[in-house]
Every structure is written in C-alpha cells, then in structure tokens.
C-alpha cells in the first residue's frame, strides 16, 4: 500500500469521524446547556413517544425513549429511607437480598431538631442511598401541615409551623439533589388527613392557604429548586389536586415559575382532559394493580396514555400541551438519569449511621423532668425496669408507603442494656399491639391483663422504671390510609402507667410517636420524653439522652393539646374535621396549632 493511499484513507476516516460528530444529537452532549438538550431531544420525538413519557411502565418507573437512548425514570418511596424493591407489576416486595437500607428518623424528629445543617446532612445521606440503589426520584419529603393530632401520616411531615417546615425542607432537598436524585416534595396540597383522602373536597380561605399551607412548598420550589412535586389525593375547591388548575397551573407553574415535573400520587388522576390541561405531567399508579384488574386495564389505559393520545390526534387538544409535559420530563431525565458526572452514591455505612443517630439525638424532646430524675447516670441505680412493647418492637416497619426494610435497627431495649449493663436491666412487655398490617387491624393474641400484671410486678422490684410506649405504625395509629380513632394511648397503656405508678413513683415515660397523645397521667409522672420514630440508631440515641451523654435539645414542632377538643380543627366539630365525607371546611382558618 503506497503512502498516497494511506494518507487518503486517513483523510476519509477523519472526514467520516467529523461528520459523525457533527450529527451527534445535542441531547447526548452533556456539555451543552440543558435547555438546548431538551429542545433537541423534543424535536426528534414522535407524538407517541412524547405521550409515553407521561405514564408509568411499572409500579415505580415511567417510560423513557428507547429509540433515542433516553432512559426511563425510576422512583422510590421515602422520605425516611429508600424502600425495599417492589415487583414490576404488583405491590408485593420483590424479595431482593441487597435492598436493606439505613432507616433515618421520621421527619417529625428532624423538625424537632430545628437544625437546618442537620437537615442538609439528612438529605445528602438519604440521597446517596437512593442514588446507590439507582433511583432517579425519591418520593419525599412531606411538608403537609400538622392540622390535627389524629392524621395518620403526621409522622412523615415536619409539624404545624410553616416557617419551621420551610427552613428545614430547603436544605433537605438540596442535599438529596446533589446526588443527581430528584426530591419529590409532597403532597401538594391540603392533604391533612387520611380519612376520605381520595375524594374529600377541602375549603379553606385564601389567607390560610397562602400563610399556612403553601409556604413550605413555595420554599421548596423557589429556594431549593426542587425537581419534582407530587400532587395530593384530595380535592380543593372542587378539583382533584393532581390536576387542579389553581394549584398546579396558576400557583406552582405560573406564580412560582416551577420548571420541574408534577407527579400524581399513585392513582391520583381521575380525568384525561383535566389531567392534560390542569398541570399534571406524569401519571403513576392508576388502574393496574397487578392483581384483579391487570387483564382488563393496563398502563396504556391510563388517563394520560391512549386516551390522551386520542385527543391529541383528533385535534381536541393542542400539541403545545404535550410538548410542555415532555419538556419538563426530559429536563428531569437530564438532571438525574443523564446527569453528567453523577455521583455513584453510598449505601448503609458508618457515616449514614452517624447522621441518623445525630438527628435522633437532637430531635428527642424532654417534656417534663421533676426533681431532676433525668439524666439516669449509669451506676446510680442497681435495678432498672424497662416496660413497654415499643422498647423491643421494630418501629421501621408498617406505616404504609414509608415502611422500610433495614440493614439493622438498635431497639431502645438494646441501647439501654448496652448503656447500663444487661445485668442491671429487666424487661417486661406490659402490653401487646398485634402485628403490623396495611389497611387493617390485627388484634393481639396475648392476654393484656396478664402482661400488665407481670409488668407491675417487675416495676415493684426495680429502683427506677423506663416505660417505653406510645403509638406504632399499625393501622389507625401512625399509618397511611387511616386516621387515629382516639386521642388516648392505645392498648390500655394509660391503665398500665397508672398501675406502675402505684408500685414505683420513679417512672420515666418515653413516647414513641409522630403525633401528640392525651396524657391523663401527666401530673403524676415525674419525667416525660418524646422520642419519635428514631430509625436504625433508635436505641443508641435514646440511651445517650437518658444517660445524660447527650443533652435533650429538641423542641416540639407541633402543639400537644390537653384534650382533642382543644385543637382548633376539632373545636368546630364535624364540618371542620373530618367533614361530611364530601366537603370539609377549615373553620379555624389561620389559627392552627399554637396560634
């Protein structure tokens, strides 16, 4: 082969390479501005491909554009940890062996810390775990305002004060999104109860809407630049919140200039035309449940799937409607799944455990401490009684969509034994609540009177008693899908506490809950600690506070009324809470909680 031919071949190869580079799609070039990439990708897509972007392809993923090499979006429940893997087409767990996460404290605990720097560390750590698990969207945090102590999902939120919630949600979101994972702030808006959540029509004044219920969402959008927002199940002024013109078009996208994606809560869409026109971008969870309706309804039957495409093809809806949705979804994909230099993430490590423990320690609230009964310094008492099911029960399971499969969980009993010595601690269950089950109550099979009698006997022989009770994440307690049925502690805990006090006056009550509870024994118990749901490091954090190694510096992020009627939402009766099953009126207006 002569030199001329070699040079010619090199020249041809160089020209071909240059031509190939010139034809390289802009959307694949990570060095280009994101808006240029979005427009280039949009210009190459068919109408069918654009519509596909707007609906689910599985329980927790939405479509990409395979022809163009644009990946799908993968989502996971949060906001306290990355939920275990769910099957493609059902709500059953997939049975993976490598999806056990770090459980971070519930957001009520984070809110009680009043610490924005800690909130950022929380978001950074949970975002890293989501990224390691190859998630693009973490479905959290929740910022719905604590309006009533019986709301089943209050433990997932950050309390009753809009300023506190706003100041803490911003660093959380920034921490998550630094991992190339979108936070999805929820539930927009006015989802303040679980009773009739799928249809209750909320009526609230403009002043209360803007002063109480929207500021945290606004801060998430304008300050944290959150990449996605989840709509709420309920209605507001006659329109479902997942396709509500006032909330999504006028306030979120016009007034606040939100450039991200609105995602339904699972099954939150109800109408194709409203979903198309009133601000919804991605529809998740409708129809298909992988069980009874799979054969009849599939993902292509979603409101924003074939019915949406039909209206576009027939000219009933302008193409600009789908173009706006596709732009937003592409923007989210380029920010996450196609983010240049995206971190790899980290999963269940010492650093994340340290964050979880610090949040738990700073969130624990000392409600009462007569005669300086606390701290209980190791060595002061020879025999310590630990009473109560919550001392040994896992509090990371249950609760609905926020339940977790954890790598490890240090129980309060384990933490107390490690702090004071196993030989000094004697445990008695005291009461039983039954196993956790979503949407139903399974009655405990144990004899409550016998458990109570055994606990009283143990307390009588002890120098001091830690009663560790409260709520758990069973149905009708702190759990999605149903509100609490009573303000009092369940499973006769009030009776048990009264009996303990008869035989031992040194009783420290530790309440695990995400809600306020009635305390008929408050005048007799010398010390009360609010410990929330503390996650993987629960026992270590609690023991550090009880022993005095850590100062209990948490502050209540919501009000504990003496009686339920003292809560403003309940003061006005049924029309205010829970409504008449059709309409509900926030009669307390701006007078929420301490106001």
Q: How far apart are CA 285 and CA 55, in angstroms?
A: 9
Q: How far apart are CA 192 and CA 157, in angstroms?
A: 10
Candidates 185, 194, 197, 226; CA nearest to 78 is 185
Q: How far apart are CA 302 and CA 271, in angstroms?
A: 9
Q: How far apart are CA 134 and CA 275, in angstroms?
A: 29
Residues 6+ apart with CB under 8 A from 53: 62, 63, 64, 65, 282, 325, 326, 329, 330
265 is a catalytic site residue: yes
Q: How far apart are CA 82 and CA 404, in angstroms?
A: 7
Q: How far apart are CA 68 and CA 155, in angstroms?
A: 42
Give the CA distances from residue 471 to residues 449, 511, 530, 575, in Å, rounded to whole numbers and listed in that order.
Answer: 19, 8, 11, 27
56-58 sheet: strands from edge to edge: 56-58, 61-62, 73-77, 137-139, 182-188, 228-231, 261-263
- 3-class DSSP state for residue 76? strand
Q: 480: how many CB neighbours lie within 10 A of its CB?
A: 20
Candidates 175, 179, 170; CA nearest to 143 is 170
DSSP 215-280: HHHHHHHHTS--SEEEEPSSEETTEEGGG-IIIIIIIIIIIS---SEEE--TT----HHHHHHTT-
- 3-class DSSP state for residue 154? helix
Q: How far apart are CA 102 and CA 43, in angstroms?
A: 42
If phi > 0 it is left, if psi is from -120 to 50 it is alpha, else beta; for residue 257 that is left
Among the listed residues 99, 265, 281, 483, the single catalytic one is 265
Residues 6+ apart with CB under 8 A from 435: 442
Q: Identify whether 261 is preceded by a cis peptide bond (ω within 30 of 0).
A: no
The DSSP 8-state label assigned to residue 589 in this structure reads T
Distance of alpha carbon 564 from the chain centroid: 25
Query: Kind of pairing, strands 235-236 and 201-203?
Result: parallel
Q: 354: how many CB neighbours lie within 10 A of its CB?
A: 13
The DSSP 8-state label assigned to residue 28 in this structure reads G
- With tokens 């929330």, the residue in question is 532
Q: Where does 10-83 show beta strands of DSSP type E?
A: 56-58, 61-62, 73-77
Asked if residue 322 lies in contact with residue 333, where contact means CB atoms within 8 angstroms, the answer is no
Q: How far apart are CA 138 and CA 128, in angstroms?
A: 11
Which residues belong to the active site? 265
């Amino acid at each position: 082969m002569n030199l001329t031919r070699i040079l010619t071949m090199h020249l041809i190869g160089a020209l071909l390479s240059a031509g190939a580079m010139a034809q390289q799609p802009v959307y694949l070039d990570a060095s280009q501005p994101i808006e240029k990439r979005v427009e280039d990708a949009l210009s190459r897509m068919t109408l069918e491909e654009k519509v596909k972007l707007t609906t689910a392809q599985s329980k927790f993923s939405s479509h990409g554009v395979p022809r163009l090499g644009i990946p799908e979006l993968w989502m996971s429940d949060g906001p306290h940890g990355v939920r275990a893997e769910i099957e493609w087409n059902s709500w059953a767990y997939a049975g993976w062996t490598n999806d056990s996460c770090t459980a971070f404290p519930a957001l009520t605990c984070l809110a009680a810390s009043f610490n924005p720097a800690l909130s950022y560390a929380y978001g950074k750590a949970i975002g890293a775990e989501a990224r390691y698990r190859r998630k693009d969207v973490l479905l959290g945090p929740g910022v719905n305002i604590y309006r009533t102590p019986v709301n089943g999902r209050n433990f997932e939120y950050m309390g009753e004060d809009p300023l506190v919630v706003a100041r803490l949600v911003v660093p959380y979101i920034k921490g998550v999104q630094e991992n190339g994972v979108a936070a999805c702030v929820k539930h927009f808006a006015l989802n303040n109860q679980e009773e009739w959540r799928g249809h209750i029509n909320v009526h609230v004044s403009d002043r209360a809407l803007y002063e109480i219920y929207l500021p945290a969402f606004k801060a998430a959008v304008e300050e944290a630049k959150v990449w996605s927002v989840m709509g709420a199940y309920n209605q507001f002024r006659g329109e479902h919140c997942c396709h509500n013109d006032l909330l999504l078009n006028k306030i979120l996208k016009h007034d606040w200039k939100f450039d991200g994606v609105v995602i339904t809560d699972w099954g939150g869409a109800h109408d194709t035309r409203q979903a198309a026109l009133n601000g919804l971008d991605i529809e998740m969870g409708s129809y298909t449940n992988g069980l009874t309706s799979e054969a009849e309804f599939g993902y292509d039957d979603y409101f924003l799937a074939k019915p949406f495409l039909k209206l576009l093809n027939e000219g009933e809806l302008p193409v600009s409607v789908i173009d706006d949705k596709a732009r937003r979804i592409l923007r989210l994909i380029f920010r996450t799944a196609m983010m240049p230099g995206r971190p790899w993430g980290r999963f269940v490590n010492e650093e994340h455990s340290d964050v979880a423990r610090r949040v738990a320690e700073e969130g624990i609230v000392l409600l009462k401490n007569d005669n300086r009964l606390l701290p209980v310094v190791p060595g002061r008492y020879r025999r310590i009684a630990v009473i109560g099911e919550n001392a040994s029960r896992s509090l990371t399971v249950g609760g609905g969509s926020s339940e977790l499969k954890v790598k490890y969980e240090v129980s309060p009993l384990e933490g107390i034994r490690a702090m004071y010595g196993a030989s000094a601690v004697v445990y008695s269950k005291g009461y039983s609540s039954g196993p956790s089950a979503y949407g139903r109550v399974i009655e405990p099979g144990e004899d409550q009177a016998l458990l109570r009698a055994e606990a009283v006997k143990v307390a009588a022989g002890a120098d001091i008693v830690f009663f560790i009770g409260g709520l758990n994440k069973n149905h009708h307690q702190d759990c999605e899908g149903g509100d609490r049925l009573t303000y009092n502690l369940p499973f006769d805990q009030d009776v048990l506490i009264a009996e303990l006090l008869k035989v031992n006056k040194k009783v420290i009550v530790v309440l695990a809950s995400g809600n306020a509870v009635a305390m008929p024994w408050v005048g007799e118990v010398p010390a009360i600690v609010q410990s929330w749901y503390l996650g993987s490091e629960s026992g270590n954090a609690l023991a550090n506070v009880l022993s005095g190694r850590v100062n209990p510096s948490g502050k209540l992020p919501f009000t504990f009324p003496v009686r339920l009627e003292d809560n403003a939402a309940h003061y006005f009766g049924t029309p205010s809470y829970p409504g008449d099953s059709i309409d509900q009126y926030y009669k307390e207006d701006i007078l929420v909680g301490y106001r």
